[in-house]
Amino acid sequence: MNRRTLAVALLTLLVAGCATRPPEPAPPAAWTFAVSGDSRNCGNLVMPAIARSTRGAGDRFYWHLGDLRRTSAADEDLLREPRFRAAPPGKREYQDLEWPDFLAHQVEPFGDLPFFLGIGNHETVAPKTREEFRSVFATLLDRPEIRANRQADQARLGAVATRGVSTYYHWVAGGVDFINLDNANDSFDPAQLAWFDALVAADLRDPAIRTLVVGMHEALPHSLGDNHSMCSSGAGIASGERVYRKLVEAEAAKKRIYVLASHSHFFLAHVFDTPWWHDPAHGAHPLPGWIVGTAGAVRYPLPQGVVAGSDARTHVYGYLRGTVSADGQIAFAFQELGEGDLQQARGPDYTAEDAAFCFRANPEPERLGKAAPDPACTE
């Protein structure tokens, strides 16, 4: 082999190596992770309880699907901190400290357990911006797992790969690609859609990826939660349908698919088991999907037509635990937290009465009427 042929061969091997994902340790036969969203209002009391539960259970990581603090007005839990009991902060003072407060009271209790962070609509309420979100939470958005996959994506995805800290990203664990999307403003923008399409295509070519778990703040359109989802805009419906159909394609290619969201403050399973996605005219079918906005936000009643039960819970706090089998199949189960869990996990800034308040008055469910589906997504 002459020098030129050898050089070409070495370059080919180098490029092939750059196009692969970073290696990961072999996972156990079965392992677990935790996910929920919407921790505004009373998250300073609920999130430590989630942290205590997930750490005790040996979950591999926790994934937050957005809506960290209220932003438009001070959260009830923050107002009960010792520093504000005598006099509440002004609106601008609150907005300056709400995200540092989230880090101190809601992220710190997780300790060294990996914490993955999504963005919700309350993170873009003025004066908050995505730019500030990326800056304040750069350490979480650039975790080693995320950074390693972003670097590998320069070769895997080409020109559409993200080049720096982003509000949409992915990481791989145990043969599962966890994809965090950004629909904080009701839709996916063109750059994110191009990235998503390329990422799914790369996963379909990769036999080591058996499963895709896609998480976002607002549920994709035509779900049981349509009254509070991507149905609020034409761009949301169109871009959400595109993502949904891309996942149906991936499922047809023998990848396991699971779709997670929060935004609505209840727990609901089988969210895409709707007439729309059962209709062959729409070129798809129901995918496994869950809404779990139960990490501290004011609690909503279930949508019209949904009956409470094991797969539909209202006026609860908790999170969703996924148990990943060796073949990539994931079994999800809701983990409810009671007032006793909040009492055991509350930090020194809070009293027993504060935890009781969050259970008693956040808010009474009968104060909120059941919302009808958005006609834009059902007609």
Across residues 206-217, what is the average pLDDT?
98
Percent of the chain past pLDDT 70, that is, above it, reads: 90
What CATH number should be reported for the domain holding residue 209?
3.60.21.10
* Prediction pTM value: 0.92
How confident is the model over 46-82, as pLDDT tens digits? Answer: 999 999 999 999 999 999 999 999 999 999 999 999 9
Pick the closest to residue 264 from 233, 236, 290, 234 (CA basis): 290
The least confident of 10-14, 122-126, 252-256 is: 10-14
Residue 115, beta-bridge partner list: 62
* 156 vs 178: CA distance, rounded Å: 16
Residue 5 lies in a domain: no
Domain range for 232? 28-378
- 153's tokens: 């994506």
The string of DSSP codes covering 245-293 is HHHHHHHHTT-EEEEEE-SSSSEEE-TT-SHHHH-GGGS--PPPEEEE-
| 89 Cβ contact list (under 8 Å, min separation 6) | 74, 78, 97
* 336 vs 334: CA distance, rounded Å: 6
pLDDT over 50 (residue 15): no
Distances (CA, A) of 4 to 7, 9, 13, 151, 197: 5, 9, 14, 29, 37
* 67 vs 39: CA distance, rounded Å: 6
* 229 vs 10: CA distance, rounded Å: 50
3-class DSSP state for residue 340?
Answer: helix
Which residue type is seen at 315? H
Q: Are strands 256-261 and 289-292 parallel, antiparallel or unpaired?
A: parallel
Task: Please report the pLDDT score of residue 143 as a whole number.
Answer: 98
Q: How many domains does the chain have?
A: 1
Residue 224 lies in a domain: yes
* 98 vs 78: CA distance, rounded Å: 8
How confident is the model over 259-272, as pLDDT tens digits? Answer: 999 999 999 999 99
Residue 34 lies in a domain: yes
- 292's tokens: 């779990």
Residue 11 lies in a domain: no
- 245's tokens: 């159909």
Pick the closest to residue 261 from 211, 218, 297 (CA basis): 218
Residue 15 lies in a domain: no
pLDDT over 90 (residue 194): yes
pLDDT confidence bin for 300, thresholds 50/70/90: confident
Which residue type is seen at 270? H
* 220 vs 213: CA distance, rounded Å: 14
Task: Please report the pLDDT score of residue 3 as a whole number.
Answer: 38
CA 192, 100, 357, 91 dihedral sign is: negative
Residue 142 lies in a domain: yes
The least confident of 1-5, 153-157, 220-224 is: 1-5
Is there a contact between 267 and 312 (Cβ–Cβ < 8 Å)? yes
Across residues 325-340, what is the average pLDDT?
97
Across residues 207-215, what is the average pLDDT?
98
Across residues 94-119, what is the average pLDDT?
98
Pick the closest to residue 108 from 34, 66, 47 (CA basis): 47
* 2 vs 61: CA distance, rounded Å: 50
Task: Between 9 and 249, name the one with better pLDDT.
Answer: 249
Residue 14 lies in a domain: no
Residue 63 CB-density burial (10 A; 0-12 exposed, 13-18 middle, 19+ buried): buried
| 100 Cβ contact list (under 8 Å, min separation 6) | 136
| 17 Cβ contact list (under 8 Å, min separation 6) | none
How confident is the model over 31-54, as pLDDT tens digits? Answer: 999 999 999 999 999 999 999 999
Pick the closest to residue 200 from 259, 142, 144 (CA basis): 259
Task: Please report the pLDDT score of residue 369 as a whole number.
Answer: 60
Task: Please report the pLDDT score of residue 242 as a whole number.
Answer: 97
The least confident of 29-33, 218-222, 265-269, 304-308 is: 304-308
| 170 Cβ contact list (under 8 Å, min separation 6) | 146, 149, 177, 178, 179, 180, 199
The least confident of 16-25, 107-116, 328-337 is: 16-25
Residue 319 lies in a domain: yes
How confident is the model over 157-174, as pLDDT tens digits? Answer: 999 999 999 999 999 999
pLDDT confidence bin for 9, thresholds 50/70/90: very low
Task: Please report the pLDDT score of residue 11 as a whole number.
Answer: 30
The string of DSSP codes covering 121-161 is GGGGSTT--HHHHHHHTHHHHT-HHHHHHHHHHHHHTGGGS
